[in-house]
Structure 1
Amino acid sequence: MNSFMTILQLKIRKRQKNKIIFKKVLALPTPFFDAIITIQGVIKEKEMKILIVDDESLTREGLIASVDWAALGIDEIYQADDGLSGLETARENKPDIILCDVRMPRMNGIEMLEQIEGFDPDVTAIFMSGYSDKEYLKAAIQLKAINYIEKPIELGEMQQTLQRAVEQCARQRLLGNKGVTLESEQGAQLAYRFTMPFAAHRDAIEGLLRNFSAVSAKNKFKYITTYIVKLQAIPEDPQILRQIKEALQGYLIPMHLNVIYTEKRVYHIIFHIYGELETTAGTREMIASQIAKLFHGCGAFYISIGDTVSGYQEAYHSYESAVIYLQDSFFFEPCKVLSASVIDGCRDVDQTLLQQKITEAKTMVRESGEEATMQVLDEIAQLLRGRRGMLQNQIKGLYYELFLCLYDARLNRQMVPDMAIENRENIMDIMDQCFSFYQLHQMLVEKTHRYYADIKENSSENPTVAIIREFIAGNYADAALSVKDISDYANLSVSYVCTLFKNETGTTINQYITDFRMRKAKQLLADPRNRVGEVSACVGYNDGNYFAKSFRKFTGLSPSEFREQVVRA
């Protein structure tokens, strides 16, 4: 065991038993309604374990020292300092509860929990984060986290959350001890296992099938077709997916079909639709259309239809084919349904011609006018829309070259940088946000139009003013940046550059520097990964309080309020 992992054996103090009647808690079969269950007694039957995963040792040690673990009935505590170490520790020690940070080095908490659920689907998760990150919060909900706690941690809230987690684990143990499994839970676990090769997971799959058959009559897996829904964003309401599944099941009943579903990699919803009769291609298209209707209002998505297979032993092959078809989704308009017939009907990308056009476009940006450049970009789009034969990352790599060309062209013309593509990291960020090729290409078109518009604007600008703007754009992060530095760079007197800049632009140099820094700060704050203190330093402020005052004066909001507003939007 690594040095950063420790295990603490804790003594359990005597405590009063709280009795809970199952009839009031879970919808169980009649024989169990008479059973009075003691949650604390169940906890005592087997040691309760918790794994704390956080890259900040002070947080881990502080929790271990502050929480009354004995009162909770937790006997063993493990800790790890990042997602990969947490994954290894969970695999070795099978904790009942995982308390983890969202953002960590090497592997974040969301990715870690997704992998842990693959071998321990019953684990109870609690997420912690110092970031108000909407997407991570929704991902935590989708991973069935019992709560999402913001840092700094309030001890009372943590104690209550841990108590709920302990009670949830106890109920799960009771269900297992009595041999009772709820249909939806078993169906979800089985659906998840169907996304794994049968040969390597035979025992687990057949065990889940037995459990599922014990609680559900919907157990005839003679023919199976997998449908995958790839979402751009997780639905706001965590109940939406459950409601969609129930509505889909109702739609399938007249067809004598059933469905089990699971979630994978946060943005992928997998439906396995099955029955005793093989469906026709027309029926499968109808089902996909119905799924599309059910997801209407959930944002952009793609749906892929896997090949129909015979027998649960072949379920993975249906899932695998759906994954393969989904790989080409990037080249189609959002909300497209993809199947073997659609993909087989697509022509491969002419990669030689595409590379020629990419090279031509870069030359046009450097040497030609807007109309000629836009014509070449349109030809590139025609080569890629609805095609196949290239991976999404290959296309993004080519488009990265075009974005970078715009960036370099601005530098060569001594133009003020486009804030969205100010550096290579920003370029990668905006490309990552593009769900489809259509969005990626539209982003490039917009940035190209902006580039040529700025050329026209700058053509009439005083050359000295352009030099001043260029110097500020390259040195705004220097807290010591002054008008004297700028005048020295321009080889002119301070009074002259101040007067010239004010006459030409209508604003003072110092005000322009402040405005430039604030615009940059807004861009950096929009990314939850950047801490407010780090943003302050990045835009030339050594004093965080002074930065906050300046930012509020510029935007009417504090840096934290601005971030919350952006996240909510």
Structure 2
Amino acid sequence: MKLLIVDDENRTRELLRNYVPWDAIGIDEVETARNGLHALELASERKPDIILCDIRMPKLNGIEFARQYRNIDPRCPVIFLSGFSDKEYLKSAIHLKAFTYIEKPVNLDEVREAVESAIAQRREEVKRREDERQLQAGFDRSLPFLRQEMVRKLVAHPEAPNVVPALRSRDTFLLPLEGPYTVAVAALYWSPADLPEEPAVTHERILESICRHPKLTSRMLLAGFDSRNHLVVVLPGDYRSSYRDGRETIEEISSELRAIAGDKIELRLGIGEAAPSLSAIPAAYRLASHASAYQYYGNGAHPVFANALGEHFAIEPNWEEVRLMRDQLRRGEIAEARRTVERWTVYARERMDLDISRLKDTYFQFLVAIMETAVQLGAAELSEDTERRYMWKEIDRIPSLDALERYVLEFMEAMTGPSGDDEGAGTGKMREIVRYVHAHFHEKGFTIREIADHVQFSETYLCAYFKKQNKQTLKEYITDTRMNRAKELLRDANVKLFEVAIRIGISDANYFTTFFKRNAGCTPSEYRERAVK
């Protein structure tokens, strides 16, 4: 800790500085000042933990110095020294909440005891503030999740017995107990190539930013992600589609949410009809979800209000259309197969199904049929890289009906060759894939997913495209690349076997032996013996 001694008498300053064993009681630095003005400059710069200060000094007395320094550090303990029994000075010291008061001539033991007590107080104060800081930091970290849980309660079970008591804590949950309320729902879409972090990390970042955003918190709104990973916002008030009824506020909130999400995330905001009470929030939430889904069929640049929803009907897979497309592909009638998918898109747009997962499932069936046909024709290999769960994960990230159609048609291009690209463009893309493999195959955790993200292909399309262009699966090519590098390293007798394994991206030496023998027909040691000879 740091101590500042302020006294206009040089002898007193030196006595206090040199004849008290400060280090024994926890004082690491001792500074002295010759008057209050000098002390104010020094204390402002050095920020002492404790101050020993004479009262009667020229230029600026101790009381006035302490009064001014209180504006800089109101918690610093001040121990006053004075040879005058002046009641007015004592009153001023008490008013300034002086730690204690020592009369001159000073007793060094008394000074030491006073400073020791001040140190204990200072340490206790520092510990208390640190505990408060950690408590507040913990609360700040948990606040977005507390609010998210409240949002989930409100959109599903607002009559739950703990909802109303919790909402009485306005500092935490912001919303008033009385309606009306407006509910907004936003579907969020982004590419893992742009945001490789886990979705939960992105969600946490967005919620924390909303909690810290002064404009949004001033609206007293709550935000959280529902079970479908849609962002849900509940705010007090009745906001409708006309500017007279508050549309401008919704536009502002939409703009702030888009800024928080960032330019790599597409945000489709839908607004439900106003809920007059807490119990009506689930119905408003469902309408807001439909309004958000409505944007899948068009432009999602602006919020859509529930009153803009037209007729919409459920859509189910048409197995006859799927079989027709499969037969067309088998016969090599690629243009006809494309038209079958495009015709389905026209039909899907007419139905305007607001259950987007159900809509995507119909395209998923086309996609499965394309992949099965590609395997039968030898244009793709159904492996762990092209299993259905990966295909579904990829289409789940697609933000619009038009993009969904394009995605499915990509697989036909993978089977038949690029329909619109010239040969040079295809060759350039293959060079990019090959370069990436050679640059990263040795890295721990290297996957086909990384290559797909790098070249901005879907994982399944990448595998089919590579097989079509190279007459070899991508997995086989990566294996060959690793094997070629391993054989090259094994020819150098100074490179240990485990080093060879690590340098081709395999951390387990036993697995390396199995991998090498499976692909080369002999163990690494046997290969080395032959190569060295």
Q: TM-score range by the shorter chain?
A: 0.3 to 0.5
TM-score, length of structure 2 as denominator length: 0.46
User: Which structure has the larger Rg over C-alpha atoms?
Assistant: 2
